[in-house]
A and B are shown apart, each in its own frame.
Chain A
């Protein structure tokens, strides 16, 4: 599923400038422990978190994630957005709680192969 479709369906805010929403989303991962995300999330996955530290941009770039959704109205640091823009990482935000975000994306048919 294209990232654009998920952004529209959940009415997500696009926090990074010049974001390319054409990426194909292959599945999803949810965690606020970045060390865990680094070991578990896979390329093209969508990552749902409450963390807004600049390292979310580094981890997303390292893994080649399709986008990061910072849920629950959580604050995203300015340097996180700058780092994301420099590395072509898309950061999306929403006031919806993480559980609700994940449930709605799953209902759209975005599932992992387990």
Chain B
């Protein structure tokens, strides 16, 4: 069993709001420097920078969970994570089919860049990624679970794009594995106030960083796992088999 300091909600420069410095190679390099063992690159409705991150991470020994921040029809954000890039690619095809035909305006919303593992420019994503898919929250969670993934309601404590805010409460049978809280210093407070509305879901904290400084300063979650897989994370969230999860961790304060 090993303790993994994890940040499972990060944006690369493929997200319209992601800074140019958020290249896959730069993110995994800084993760190693910060002592973060496991990350997920979760761009809005997109995943083209995940494979480059996995490739770049080999050099640094960082585990990159293939992931995405999905915007469902109800305009709530859901973090989905998989074990293998193949599963994420299968999911991406469903996302592509459910995307509205809107073009991104790089000047107003920010440009969306795809790069390779060495930070070389590959392409600019021209579709508007920060937009709701024609898929309900139920459809997103059900499909990702069926593909072998795990689903986490993102930043439920925020005013915008929170599934909890959009839906008022999280239905117990939705199939979510956890809820994410993103702000600093409010963990216990939020947990107590929000837990009845989340149907008692366990919670994690992530940085939701769009720039390196936010990645450095933002909250992480420590997982005690035998290996960094979806199945192990599920065990940890349920507190089973000696696995455990500890939200509210920060760089330099690893315990």
A residues adjacent to B (C-beta < 8 A): 32-38, 51-55, 58-59, 75, 77, 79
Contact = CB atoms under 8 A, between A and B. Distances in A.
A79 B137 CA distance: 12
Given A35-B167, A36-B165, A77-B136, 10 more contacts: A33-B166, A34-B165, A34-B166, A34-B167, A38-B168, A54-B171, A55-B171, A59-B168, A75-B73, A79-B138
B165 A33 contact: yes
Interface string B74-93: 11000000000000000000
Contact of A34 (B136, B138, B168): B168
A58 B138 contact: no
Given A51-B74, A53-B74, A53-B137, A58 B166 contact: no
B109 interface: no
Given A51-B74, A75-B73, A37 B138 contact: no
Nearest to B168: A34
Contacts of A36: 165
Interface in B56-83: 73-75
Interface in B4-54: none
Contact of A35 (B73, B75, B165): B165
Given A53-B136, A77-B136, A79-B138, A58 B169 contact: yes
B164 interface: yes
Contacts of A53: 73-74, 136-137, 166-167
A66 to B, nearest CB: 18
A64 to B, nearest CB: 15
B138 A35 contact: no
Contacts of A38: 168
Contacts, number: 39
A57 to B, nearest CB: 11
9 contacts: A32-B75, A32-B166, A34-B166, A35-B165, A51-B166, A52-B73, A53-B167, A54-B138, A58-B168
A79 B171 CA distance: 12
Contacts of B136: 53, 77
Contacts of A77: 136, 138
Contacts of B168: 34-35, 37-38, 55, 58-59
Contacts of A51: 74, 166
A40 B138 CA distance: 26
Contacts of B171: 54-55
A40 to B, nearest CB: 11
A33 B166 CA distance: 5
Nearest to B76: A53
Interface in B73-121: 73-75
Contacts of A59: 168
B75 to A, nearest CB: 8
Contacts of A55: 167-169, 171
A72 to B, nearest CB: 13
Contacts of A35: 164-168
Interface string B115-159: 000000000000000000000111000000000000000000000
